[in-house]
Amino acid sequence: MSTGPNGKGKLTAKKLETMKRMYMEYKPISQIAKVFGVQRSTVNWHINTNAWSAERKLQESEVFSSFDDSKKVDFVNMTKHSVAIMTRSLEALATRHEPPTINEATRAADILKTLDNILRLDEGKPTDIVESTEKAMDGKELKKKLALDPFSNIESDEENDEKKIN
């Protein structure tokens, strides 16, 4: 349990639930801290540790709003537990005596990449999921690009024109 200033004012489960409700209602963090007599950092710790921020973002999304209530609860719980598992796993990996194996390090990097892609997608920034906004290629451009492939049997129009001239 968390404590307020000077170790006083333990936050009970009921107080934490009220704190979460206030956060989910977009009350300012400083106001929440004042109501419960704790530091802003304590409120931020609970927001990050208990995945309240992620839950609030999910509530904002259109996909999440289309779920029925039972699916929302299930999805939020899965997200919360997944974040907790990843946090514990990465913490254990970082603090153990033996260095991580290549496989473990690769998996940790994959987790970070996935989280980065999700955050970028939420912020409307390009990711490897949403590539570019370039115009579609026409047949000529496609043939040119394929002609650069040494294993392709397709020749570009320019090469065909050169053969006709020679």
Which ranges of the chain does DSSP label H, i.e. alpha helix? 13-24, 29-36, 40-49, 52-60, 62-66, 69-95, 102-122, 139-148, 157-165
Q: Boundaries of CATH 1.10.10 in the chain?
A: 1-50
User: What is the pTM assigned to this prediction?
Assistant: 0.37
Question: In this predicted structure, what is the pLDDT of residue 35?
Answer: 93
Question: In this predicted structure, what is the pLDDT of residue 3?
Answer: 47
Question: In this predicted structure, what is the pLDDT of residue 38?
Answer: 93
Question: In this predicted structure, what is the pLDDT of residue 36?
Answer: 92
For the chain, how far is it from start to end, CA to CA, in angstroms?
Answer: 84
Q: Which residue has the higher pLDDT, 88 or 155?
A: 88
Among 46, 53, 48, CA closest to 3: 46
Q: Which residue has the higher pLDDT, 102 or 151?
A: 102
Separation between Cα atoms, residue 108 and residue 99, nearest integer Å: 13
Separation between Cα atoms, residue 2 and residue 8, nearest integer Å: 9
pLDDT category at 5 given cuts 50, 70, 90 is very low
Please report, rounded to a whole number, the percentage of residues in the chain having pLDDT higher than 90: 13
Q: Per-residue b/e over 32-54, b at no fewer than 16 CB within 10 Å?
A: bbeebebeeebbeebbeebbbeb
User: Residue 82 pLDDT more than 70?
Assistant: yes
pLDDT category at 137 given cuts 50, 70, 90 is low
User: Residue 34 pLDDT more than 50?
Assistant: yes
- Overall CATH class of domain 1-50: mainly alpha
User: Residue 81 pLDDT more than 60?
Assistant: yes
Return all residues near 75 (Cβ < 8 A) that are at least 6 apart. 58, 64, 67
Among 88, 22, 13, 75, CA closest to 49: 88
Q: Which residue has the higher pLDDT, 29 or 74?
A: 29
